[in-house]
Chain A
Amino acid sequence: MNSKGNTRRLLVAACALIYFFLMLPLLVVFPISLSSAPYMQFPPPGLSWQWYERYLDDPQWIDATWRSLYVGGATAALALALGVPLAFALVRSRFPGRALLDRLALAPLIVPTIILSVATYGLFAKLKLVGTWYGLVVAHTVLALPFVVLVLAAGLRDFDRALEQAAAGLGASRWQTLRRITLPMLRPSLVSAGLLAFISSFDEVVVALFLAGANMTLPKKMFDNIMMEIDPTIAAVSVIQILLVSVVLILIGRFGRGLRDSAR
């Protein structure tokens, strides 16, 4: 029995190290973002808010932040508007080509993003959509759609159809059943799907690199800055980004369908 306890302790110790490896990059940007040094230095010689001030005072950063927020919001809205009906059809209907459509809907997860980006760039250059925010929204929606379909499909498969039958038997029309019973009960899945779609767009670099043109999104602006110089402003932006993702994850944990369920 004692050897079993030791094995377990060893496992826990190893995992602690691996967790440290996972969290280290997220943690390291906090002290750097508060550094008083004029360039990257660790440990920071003193504390200051200068990098946050620089971020807030630079219209380019603020502009990029706003653009990422509304592109993300629009992507989430469009991905839900298209993905929710798609998930209903995929889970609840049997029609020719259903399996094929199922694969097509998940394919953007599998096809390397670089290929999708280059291909979309080629088409959008023809259509004069490069540099437009709505072009980016369309491309991000293609990437976000699989998340919406996966989360909603899981929610729908666990949904007890007897509840809809009960509603129908009690006099509810199809529309009333959908609005009063089905959608409210799927709300956790909808919340998760929408937030995941938002984050997937908000974080996305590769597509934005090709399609954003002069209209920077936050990740593209960061990419360009990293390529040019390592300026601790990026650390400040990173901290803000990490905090935002944390808030979204907390929201999902609080109001969404458990992320753990979708890990099955």
Chain B
Amino acid sequence: MRTGKGSGEGSAELLIEGVAKRFGEVAALDHVSLSVAQGELLTILGPSGSGKTTLLKVVAGFETPDAGRVLVGGADITALLPARRDIGMVFQNYALFPHLSVKANVAFPLEMRNIARAEIDRRVGEALAMVELAGYEARLPKQLSGGQQQRVALARAIVFNPRLLLLDEPFGALDRKLRETMQLEVRRLQRRLGLTTIFITHDQEEALVLSDRIAVMNKGTIQQIATTTEIYERPANDFVADFVGESNILHGTVSAPGLVALPDGRKLMVDSEAAPGAKVGLLMRPERFSGGGLNEFSGEIVEAVYLGTSFKLRIACEGGPELLVRQPARGTLPAAGTKITVGIDPEAIHVF
């Protein structure tokens, strides 16, 4: 079930091996390992404080890990100065040099590499054309809009053909519409240039839109690393299930093959080969419920919200769990207090 460029195929361009970093008592990174294939876009997704930014800094060379190695193209760069790593990075607030023009910003990495003037002019022109900012060369960063600033930051990060591109929450400061445009644009550019990219975000929607694969981080460890659909459909644990998308998570014990007993005595049919007696988690996405199914829940609507294309209902089941359910918006929004029955099929329940 691999989509697009999968993991492990070909050689890993970036390899992180057992990287650990402590800040005092806190383990920001607890022996993290992962690999990114040539041309792949890997998203590191996690809440703030999960260690994702520290991991990015270790890759960029702004933090030295206490243990572990970072390899790019097979070469160990763990001890290399940031300036020698050949990594392009787009910072959270872009970190454009405010006293330099757009052109001088983009030319900066080329000048640091002592490239001839004519060649610099040519490549800066190309990079600016690529991000559709030709004609803005003389402007200062503060004379640009947020989206334009971000394009400059992107042009500056790719103009020197880095081996690796790092994006540190680059869309956070943009409004929703612009953010969506920029996301698609970055993705297109990354594909076109075949840039191996690590993208950091705490926004799971963004992660799902952009990535080849997602690594979900929490408390300094990687919880799961998999393709976007796998992360969404088959999360490895409670944290991933809860952090990515809306979810209903229940816990129970397998009472017979294909049957899970909940603490309230309710039994659910599931599509799983877990052995009887095993304690399991069940994930039910709100949009997978319908009017009826093999597993039925009856209850009373506690809260109903209209979301344009759908209704979001919070249902208190009789003597049991509270469920979050999405239904296509048809007719009028049911009032709180209304009795309702919803159902879900076994194959729509993910057992972990």
Contact = CB atoms under 8 A, between A and B. Distances in A.
**Do A and B share a direct contact in the complex (Cβ within 8 angstroms)?**
yes
B89 A169 contact: yes
A116 B166 CA distance: 55
B93 A169 contact: no
B108 interface: yes
| Most B Cβ at <10 Å: residue of A167, A168, A176, A181 | A168
A171 B109 contact: yes
A165 interface: yes
A169 B61 contact: yes
B243 interface: no
Contacts of A171: 83-84, 86, 109, 112-113, 160
Contacts of A163: 95, 97-98
Interface residues of A, number: 18
**Interface band, chain B:** 20 to 34
B95 A160 contact: yes
B301 interface: no
A172 B83 contact: yes
B95 A162 contact: yes
A172 B112 contact: yes
A160 B89 CA distance: 16
Interface in B71-129: 81-89, 91-93, 95, 97-99, 108-109, 112-113
Given A176-B112, A185-B98, A185-B99, A168 B93 contact: no
B350 interface: no
A172 B97 CA distance: 13
A170 interface: yes
Secondary structure type dominating chain A contacts:
helix
A168 B82 contact: yes
Contacts of B156: 170
A169 B85 contact: yes
Nearest to A165: B62
Contact of A168 (B81, B88, B92, B113): B81
A184 B99 contact: yes
A262 interface: no
Interface string A166-195: 111111110010001100110100000000
Contact of B91 (A162, A173, A176, A180): A162
B95 A173 contact: no
A212 B114 CA distance: 52
Contacts, number: 62
A162 to B, nearest CB: 4
A169 B63 CA distance: 12
A257 B21 CA distance: 38
A254 to B, nearest CB: 16
A166 B83 contact: no
Interface in B249-306: none
Nearest to B168: A162
B108 A167 contact: yes
Contacts of A173: 83, 112
Contacts of B87: 169
A230 B93 CA distance: 61
Contacts of A165: 60, 62, 82, 91, 95
B319 to A, nearest CB: 54
A162 B53 CA distance: 13
A181 B111 CA distance: 13
A171 B89 CA distance: 11
B113 A166 contact: no
Contacts of A187: 99
Contacts of A169: 60-62, 82-83, 85, 87-89
Contacts of A168: 61-62, 81-83
A167 B97 contact: yes
B98 A170 contact: no
Interface in B47-80: 60-62
B70 to A, nearest CB: 14
Contacts of B89: 166, 169
Interface in B106-163: 108-109, 112-113, 156-157, 160
B160 A170 contact: yes
Contacts of B109: 170-171
Contacts of A184: 99
Contacts of B112: 170-173, 176
Nearest to A163: B95
A162 B83 contact: no
Of B60, B83, B87, B98, the most chain A CB neighbours within 10 A belong to B83
A207 B253 CA distance: 87
A35 to B, nearest CB: 49
Contacts of A162: 91-93, 95
Contact of A166 (B61, B84, B91): B91
Interface string A48-63: 0000000000000000
| Closest CB pairs A-B (n = 4) | A171-B112, A170-B109, A166-B95, A168-B82
Given A166-B89, A169-B61, A172-B83, 8 more contacts: A160-B93, A162-B95, A163-B98, A167-B97, A169-B82, A169-B83, A169-B87, A172-B108
Interface of A: 160, 162-163, 165-173, 176, 180-181, 184-185, 187
Interface of B: 60-62, 81-89, 91-93, 95, 97-99, 108-109, 112-113, 156-157, 160
13 contacts: A163-B98, A167-B108, A168-B81, A168-B83, A170-B88, A170-B108, A170-B112, A170-B157, A171-B109, A171-B112, A171-B113, A172-B108, A176-B112
